[in-house]
């Protein structure tokens, strides 16, 4: 959205009643015809704007769109979300955010999209990304921490999402499937993909990608038995814009808190309370081996602790976890 359209939108949003075309023309130094063109452009993007002769323009309703203008209506953060880059359609918000970060985009920059043609999950999996119904968002972080410390960011990210989902609908049984999936009624409702670029001992940037199935009611046949959405579980429609703002606020709060200690000690109990795996027999596929045992907890650095048949506690830092004898 260009600056003039954005300015007109803000003027209509902050005004009471109708704003005359003359007022808008005077504010922006444009002709009435030019103002009308911007009004039509806003209508094309989903804004319902009433126009009444001798009265002017009135913003009747706004679209549930993950744009900077809409998210900022509900956002109260220090830096995260100060800049939101919105796309109608994009390959992957994480891919674009990683490129922007490499080009110097500042900490807290957010990339959102209404749909993705190449949405990515962990280990190169596709992420179902239809338009108009879900949340696709990536956040650029620039923590002054080591790569080992940065590996804890997926944990604080998943906790921030669970907190927001709990506030949104406390009656749903959300669970965390290590390392960074969130399930509802045993089906995936959210996935988080964290990617980073670093030197030997210093992080350049981390991108936290969050995908949440919000209002989608029809899943791809290949995932309908393993994925769900908030609307499918409750029958309710949710505001993606408000949800995005809440997520950015929660993420910033927990991120700033985490930076003080750079460990997960204060979050372990909360994470374990939501864990799907704790106390259960698991198999974890890593690039080099399969580890089998009982998941016993989360360590302060984010690794999953697994008790092997020998009684030894093994710390697993990455891999795909499955409940033994079940497909998940």
User: pLDDT digit string (tens) for 244-286?
Assistant: 999 999 999 999 999 999 999 999 999 999 999 999 999 999 8
CA distance 220 to 222: 5
Helix ranges (H only) for the chain are: 3-14, 21-28, 32-44, 68-71, 93-102, 147-150, 153-168, 230-234, 240-261, 268-274
User: pLDDT digit string (tens) for 160-219?
Assistant: 999 999 999 878 999 999 988 999 999 999 999 999 999 888 899 999 999 999 999 988
Per-residue pLDDT band at 223 (split at 50, 70, 90): confident
- The CATH fold of domain 277-323: SH3 type barrels. (2.30.30)
CA distance 126 to 117: 9
Half-sphere exposure of 37 (CA within 13 A, CB side): 7
Percent of the chain scored above 90 by pLDDT? Answer: 85
Output the pLDDT for position 123: 57
Average the pLDDT over 213-240 and give the result: 91
In the numeric block, the tokens 């998943």 are attached to 158
CA distance 280 to 321: 11
For residue 103, the SS3 value is coil
Domain spans in the chain, listed from the N-terminal domain onward: 3-61, 68-273, 277-323
Contacts 24+ apart (CB under 8 A), 215-221: 215/133, 215/134, 215/240, 216/128, 216/130, 216/133, 216/134, 217/133, 219/128, 220/128
Percent of the chain scored above 70 by pLDDT? Answer: 97
Q: 84-87 and 110-113 as β-strands: parallel, antiparallel, unpaired? A: parallel
User: What CATH number belongs to 3-61?
Assistant: 1.10.10.10
Which residue(s) pair with 315 in the sheet?
Answer: 305
Is a pLDDT exceeding 50 seen at residue 328?
A: no
Contact by Cβ (8 Å): 81, 245? yes
Nearest to 164 by CA among 152, 182, 143: 182
Is a pLDDT exceeding 80 seen at residue 69?
A: yes
CB under 8 Å to 326, separation ≥6 — which residues?
none
User: pLDDT digit string (tens) for 73-129?
Assistant: 999 999 999 999 999 999 999 999 999 999 999 999 999 999 998 877 655 566 678
Domain 68-273: give its CATH architecture.
2-Layer Sandwich (3.30)
For residue 285, the SS3 value is strand
CB under 8 Å to 54, separation ≥6 — which residues?
none
Topology alike, domains 3-61 and 277-323? no
CB under 8 Å to 208, separation ≥6 — which residues?
138, 139, 141, 153, 154, 157, 192, 193, 194, 251
Is a pLDDT exceeding 50 seen at residue 327?
A: no
Output the pLDDT for position 124: 57
């Amino acid at each position: 959205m260009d600056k003039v359209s954005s300015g007109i939108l803000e003027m209509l949003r902050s005004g009471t009643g109708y704003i005359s075309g003359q007022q808008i023309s005077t504010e922006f130094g444009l002709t009435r015809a030019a103002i009308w063109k911007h009004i039509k452009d806003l209508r094309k993007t989903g804004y319902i704007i009433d126009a009444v002769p001798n009265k002017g323009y009135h913003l009747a309703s706004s679209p549930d769109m993950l744009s900077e203008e809409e998210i900022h209506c509900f956002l109260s953060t220090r830096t995260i979300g100060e800049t939101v880059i919105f796309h109608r359609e994009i390959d992957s918000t994480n891919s674009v955010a990683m490129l922007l970060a490499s080009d110097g985009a500042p900490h807290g920059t957010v990339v959102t999209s209404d749909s993705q043609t190449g949405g990515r999950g962990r280990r190169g999996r596709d992420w179902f990304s239809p338009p108009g119904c879900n949340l696709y968002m990536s956040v650029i972080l620039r923590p002054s921490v080591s790569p080992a410390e940065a590996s804890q960011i997926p944990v604080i990210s998943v906790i921030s999402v669970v907190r927001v989902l709990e506030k949104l609908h406390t009656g749903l049984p959300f669970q965390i499937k290590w390392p960074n999936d969130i399930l509802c009624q045993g089906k995936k409702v959210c996935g988080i993909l964290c990617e980073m670029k670093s030197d030997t001992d210093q992080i350049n940037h981390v991108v936290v990608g969050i995908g949440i199935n919000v209002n989608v009611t029809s899943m791809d046949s290949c995932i309908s038995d393993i994925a769900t959405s908030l609307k499918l579980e409750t029958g309710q429609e949710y505001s993606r814009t408000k949800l995005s703002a809440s997520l950015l606020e929660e993420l910033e709060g927990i991120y700033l808190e985490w930076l003080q200690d750079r460990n997960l000690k204060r979050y372990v109990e909360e994470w374990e309370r939501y864990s799907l795996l704790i106390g259960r027999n698991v198999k974890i596929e890593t690039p080099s081996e399969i580890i089998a045992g009982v998941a016993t907890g989360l360590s302060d650095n984010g690794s999953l602790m697994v008790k092997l048949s020998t009684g030894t506690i093994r710390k697993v830092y990455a891999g795909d976890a499955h409940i033994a004898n079940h497909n998940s």
